[in-house]
Amino acid sequence: MSAVHDVPSRDWACPDCGDLREFVQPPCADGHTDEGGECPEWVCADCGAAVFAGPTPVTMRRAA
């Protein structure tokens, strides 16, 4: 992980660009980092494509 202007970044394959690109993590507005956690939202620094990394909670409805 590198940091440009104190913004965390990682190199990942970008689905829109089609190759390896730098993804940056914007400031988290959802509170993921309040207690030292990592925000799952990352944005391609070149095209702006957004990706989520990590577990994604899913709500399921059970049949009665």
Which pLDDT value is given to residue 4? Answer: 46
Q: What is the 3-state secondary structure (H, E, C) of the chain?
A: CEEECCEEEEEEECCCCCCEEEEECCCCCCCCCCCCCCCCEEEECCCCCEEECCCCCCCCCCCC
Which pLDDT value is given to residue 47? Answer: 97
Which pLDDT value is given to residue 3? Answer: 46
At residue 5 the predicted structure's pLDDT band, cuts being 50, 70 and 90, is low
Which pLDDT tens digit goes with each residue over 54-64?
A: 777 778 888 87
Which pLDDT tens digit goes with each residue over 14-52?
A: 999 999 999 998 888 888 888 888 888 999 999 999 998
